[in-house]
Copies of this chain bind each other. A is one copy, B any other.
Amino acid sequence: MIQTENSGYKGKALKSLRRAGCDVGDIVQVLSEDRKYEGILIPRSETGEGDHVVVKLKSGYNIGIRMTPGVTINKIGEGLKPTFATPPIPKQKPDLPKVAIISTGGTIASRVDYRTGAVRPALSASDLYGVVPELADIARVETKILLSLYSENITPKHWGEIAQAVSHQISSGVDGVVVAHGTDTMAYTAAALSFALQNLPIPVVIVGAQCSSDRPSSDAATNLTGGVRIAAKAPFAEVVLAMHETMSDTAIAVHRGTKVRKCHTSRRDTFQSINASLIARVNENEISMLTSDFRKRNAANLPIVKPDFSQDVALIKFHPGFKPTLIDWLVEKGYRGIVLEGTGLGHVSKYCFDAVQNANDRGVVVALASQCIWGRVNMHVYDTGRDLLDRGAIPLDDMLPETGLVKLMWVLGQTKGTEEAKKLLKTNIAGEFSPRTLSDDATM
């Protein structure tokens, strides 16, 4: 009989499964009025609502089926139950660097029974070595499960906790830290750690996976291996995000934490450095530096941890038909910062000018980024830009709007003073501003 605690099932789904005598690993048939699915019943990966059962089809795809009144489930075959045999921890090689892996959740942080697709957090060292045995040749890995969250549920408070956990690992003397994270908001967290962790002695590498490891094409093992290699051996001491560079398995791209963005819903090369070159690439197990502009690894550095973020900051995307009363409302509700994602070089309509002026007059920091994503805001080309500057708006140059949001949250976590906040916002803290290049100026 199915066990709630093992399977993750509850509610209607659990009832239906109990009624049918189905257990995880069994071969089941799900019937509705117009559809039929056959496959292996797999556990839920994260406890959520109780309406769906999840079946792994012959094709290898998982499908969630909602147990509405017309839907029935039958057991049609006995399956092997998922087992998570724990392999022995390989003998640690004392000459290898020490790497800490901190898990926050997401696809990469889970371990999968390859036959059934059963998923569970797999961040004990022995589990990890079981899934990715080659890690034992790269580093002595220590693991810590800090959070177990889908990354859309990560908040600025969690960023602070992750920063503290990284700092704790650094104090314990590791040679590098890997943070395993869901990909949805991984770039926001990368930016947050870039501001919260300063004067680092070692690399801090955020990794994730786009494909769950129950698919033959999973990118989880490669990204994790690449991440551990960077943490163990890279010559820099910055917060970076490491993921597949292309659709193939050959190279891991290393992005600066403040200059990276998730640009595709599903592809493994989803993360792109925006307005910046990659810091490094891992290929054929070798790390190649791609820029000379990086902070060097230096064991003597004492990290400075500034883990406070204000949640009273909004990222607002301007669009035709945008009503400036939204800005007025944010000011009334006590927001302390607003990042406007303007059009083109950093514009919003003239109908917004009064609202921006009012926000500025009331001590709210208003910053301007561009929804174009690539390029640089320039408030000196058109009247609109100058009008916004005159109303106190701070141009974010070539900073990503998402990085701008995270930075303003961090800035307002550091100071209560508006002028000090504006000054800090304009200061290059972690490579979030790139130097101006000729091609930036093409329209000036």
Q: Interface on A for B, CB 8 Å cutoff?
A: 44-46, 48-49, 51-52, 61-64, 66, 150-156, 159, 183-185, 188-189, 210-212, 217, 262-268, 270, 309, 311, 313-323, 325-326, 329, 333, 341-351, 370-378, 380, 382-384, 386-387, 390, 402, 405-406, 409, 439-444
Cβ contacts under 8 Å, A318 to chain B: 152
Extra pairs beyond A152-B342, A270-B372 (5, CB < 8 Å): A188-B320, A265-B372, A266-B443, A313-B321, A314-B322
A239 to chain B, nearest CB (A): 16
Q: How far is the CA of A348 from the CA of B153 in the complex (A)?
A: 8
Q: Are B266 and A345 in contact (CB under 8 A)?
A: yes
Q: How far is the CA of A160 from the CA of B305 in the complex (A)?
A: 53
Question: Contact check: which of B46, B263, B390, B439 meets A267 at CB < 8 Å?
Answer: B439
**How many of these chains are in the complex?**
2
Q: Are B321 and A311 in contact (CB under 8 A)?
A: yes
Cβ contacts under 8 Å, A152 to chain B: 318, 342-344, 347-350, 384
Q: Are B374 and A263 in contact (CB under 8 A)?
A: yes
Q: How far is the CA of A349 from the CA of B150 in the complex (A)?
A: 9
Question: Contact check: which of B46, B185, B439 meets A343 at CB < 8 Å?
Answer: B185
- Most B-side CB within 10 Å, residue of A313, A323, A341, A351: A323
Closest to A187 in B: B343
A409 touching B321 in the complex, CB below 8 Å, given contacts A48-B383, A372-B263, A386-B49: yes
A221 to chain B, nearest CB (A): 16
Cβ contacts under 8 Å, A378 to chain B: 265-266
